[in-house]
Amino acid sequence: MKILKTVQKFPGGLMVGPLLITAVIHTWAPGLVEIGGPTTALFSSSGTMCLAGLLLFIIGSQLSVRQIGTVLKRHGPLLAVKLIIAFAAGIILMHSFGAKGIFGISTMAFVSVLASNNPGVFLALTKSYGDDIDHAAFGLWNVACMPTIPLLILGAASGAAFDYMALIALLVPFLLGILLGNIDRDIQKLMAPGSMIILPFLGFCFGISVDLITAFRSGLQGIFLTLVFYILSIIPAFCTEHWLLGRPGYASVATCCVAGLAIGAPSQIAHAVPEHAPYLQTAAAQIALVMILTTVITPFLTKFAAGKFGTAA
């Protein structure tokens, strides 16, 4: 059976396929991987941070110090645009509608979605359409997808504190990879194929926290939130990349996908800022649906953008 080749026919399939498979498992047989030992560690959400840290180290080991400036020049503006939009939306919604939000969607849900990106899907897509600079930007986007970002945004509007140590802890594996990869080229060569190996397993970890039934119960609100996410994410990012930076535009589209980690953001926000607590469950369900929809849709949008405007590969 040509399982790998079949999966790779779909944009970002190396990560999206396993993610959807484990989402189905969690929905209808949630205890299947919760048997302990290596099985639970590898195929459940308990392994997410370990795999993400390992992937950060591997990506960092492939980044030449001379490429850092190019990574920041190409992807820094895209990240800045995304965070500015999420920050502006959070401030406006909090001051205008409070934590309750609008149209049945809490401010917490809006901010968690707008501030999110899925670095795993981004990496899988840039493996097809991008180059080494795009691959190296995985570390930058990984830092930006953490739940601490929406917490920081809402903290600015609600007075919550920001945990700087969480950000530092996220950077350590990436920076260590850069250091060792540049000191010893043999380490760089050793780690080179690692990202492609880890991606499917990271997909398993992300998908196992998704309950498809709960997600689709959010219905119209989740679909509306997805449309808002695409309008406020793709249009400004694509214009920035294509017109301001003079790039094809596939990378900006590839970043417009909500990560599984975003589903956990409401619980952190509700704990730090109690006024958001009443909207925890509905926000998590809405974010889960947006994650599912964008995980499926964004790869095809990226493929369209790459086909119409060109690639770096």
Q: What is the DSSP string of 80-145?
A: HHHHHHHHHHHHHHHHHHGGG-BTTB-HHHHHHHHT---HHHHHHHHHHH--HHHHHTHHHHHHHT
Which residue is associated with the tokens 């190409």?
74
pLDDT for the residue 193: 85
Q: Return the C-alpha torsion angle 68, 73, 75, 78, nearest 10.
A: 150
Low-confidence residues in the chain, pLDDT < 70: 8, 11-12, 157-164, 166-167, 313
Which residue is associated with the tokens 């670095």?
119
- The rounded Cα 282 to chain-centroid distance in angstroms is 20
Cα angle 267, 263, 288; round to 5: 135
For 67, other C-beta atoms within 10 Å of its C-beta total 17
141 vs 136, 179, 201, CA distance in Å? 10, 19, 19
Q: Enumerate residues 6+ apart whose C-beta is below 8 A from 2.
A: none
pLDDT tens, residue by residue, 268-302: 788 778 888 898 878 888 988 898 899 999 999 99
pLDDT for the residue 256: 94
50 vs 33, 47, 53, 170, 264, CA distance in Å? 17, 5, 5, 11, 17
Whether 115 and 148 have beta carbons less than 8 Å apart is answered as no
**Buried-exposed string 155-188: b where 16+ CB fall within 10 A, e elsewhere:** bebbebeebeeeeeebeebbeebbeebbeeeeeb
pLDDT for the residue 109: 94
Angle between helices 148-158 and 68-97 (to 10 degrees): 40
Q: Return the C-alpha torsion angle 107, 154, 117, 110, nearest 10.
A: 10
pLDDT for the residue 160: 55
> What predicted TM-score, i.e. pTM, was given to this entire model?
0.77
Phi, psi of 102 (to 5 degrees): -145, 150
Burial class (CB in 10 A: 0-12, 13-18, 19+), 231: exposed
For 35, other C-beta atoms within 10 Å of its C-beta total 11
For residues 141 and 256, give the distance between their C-alpha atoms in angstroms, rounded to a whole number.
11
